[in-house]
Amino acid sequence: MNKKIVKLKIKRQDKPDAQTYWQEFTIPYKERLNVIACLQDIQRNPTTQSGESVNPVTWDCNCLEEVCGSCTMLINGKVRQACTALIDSLEQPVLLEPMSKFPVVRDLQVDRSRMFENLKKVKAWVEIDGTHDIGEGPIMSDKVRAQRYALSECMSCGCCLEACPQFSLTNNFMGAATFSQVRLFNLHPSGSMLKEERLDAVMGEGGITDCGNAQVCVEVCPKSIPLTESIADIGRQTTLQTLKNIFVK
């Protein structure tokens, strides 16, 4: 491989619903380059390999340390964060595509508001006060604290949804990230006050029953969140809730 240059092939789209097209770019090689640095290089001099001057490539990024999740895209066909995708460990030309399960805003930038809408549907928060002060919450054991910490690392990057064969642009499947947040907040001693409402939100079209157990989510999760355990646990919680709804209520 020629170490002097880096070849990139980028899928472009000028606006939502516009035709997509590929463009190739070549930039000078530097040590320890990541994909974001390459995109910044292209931004400084947006000229394709064939010398054509084009609009700079648009992408999302923020933290640059794999904590915010905003630079998620398909790199060489697989979903991951561009900030931690190092050129030295990638095959060239490096193929960059926007995520395919979210509407494209422009180029590599996608609209992931569906994830936020789902978090709202399942009330992924701890209710602290209502019309009155509800006081101090119960104590949480350290074991639960540790378990919740792992789940709380979710940055809503959408990798699990992009790789999921059940999640598509057109259906309303909630996906692993949402179910894991239901588990996170149901595990919280005060958060569990909304447990039934959360379970109710995932017991319908696009809910927990639509999971097909392909378990790709847990393989691609950059934060190694035990997503399949979360899905199984929500499976248990909803099963018990169903029995309660039928035989107790």
Partner 1 sequence: MDQRTRDKIHYLILKTHSLTGLIPVGAFLVLHFSINSLRTVGVWPYQISIDIINNLPFLMWIEVGFIIIPILFHSLVGFYIYFSGKPNPFRYNYPHNWMYTLQRLSGVVVFAFLIYHLATTVVPKVLYGNTQFEAAPYLIHVMNQEFKSWDGRIIYAIGIMAATFHFSSGLWGFCISWGILIGRRAQTNAGYIFALFGLVLTIMGLATVLEFSLHPVGVEATQPG
Contact positions vs partner 1 (CB under 8 A) = 77-78, 163, 165-166, 168, 171, 203-205, 207-216, 219-220, 226, 228-229, 231-240, 242
**Residue nearer to partner 1 on the CB measure, 113 or 215:** 215
63 contacts: CB under 8 Å, gap ≥ 6: 70, 83
Smallest separation, CB 54 to partner 1 (Å) = 28
**Residue nearer to partner 1 on the CB measure, 191 or 207:** 207
Smallest separation, CB 175 to partner 1 (Å) = 12
**Residue nearer to partner 1 on the CB measure, 56 or 212:** 212
**Residue nearer to partner 1 on the CB measure, 62 or 171:** 171
Give the chain as a 3 state SS string: CCCCEEEEEEEEECCCCCCEEEEEEEEECCCCCEHHHHHHHHHHCCECCCCCECCCCCCCCCCCCCCCCCCEEEECCEEEECCCCEHHHCCCCEEEECCCCCCEEECCEECCHHHHHHHHHCCCCCCCECCCECCCCCCCCHHHHHHHHHHHCCCCCCHHHHCCCCCCCCCCCCCHHHHHHHHHHHHCCCHHHHHHHHHHHHCCCCCHHHCCCCCHHHHHCCCCCCHHHHHHHHHHHHHHHHHHHHHCC
Smallest separation, CB 78 to partner 1 (Å) = 7
**Residue nearer to partner 1 on the CB measure, 20 or 43:** 20
Smallest separation, CB 219 to partner 1 (Å) = 5
**Residue nearer to partner 1 on the CB measure, 36 or 232:** 232
Instruction: Retrieve residue 245's tokens.
Output: 């709804």
Smallest separation, CB 25 to partner 1 (Å) = 24
Smallest separation, CB 95 to partner 1 (Å) = 12
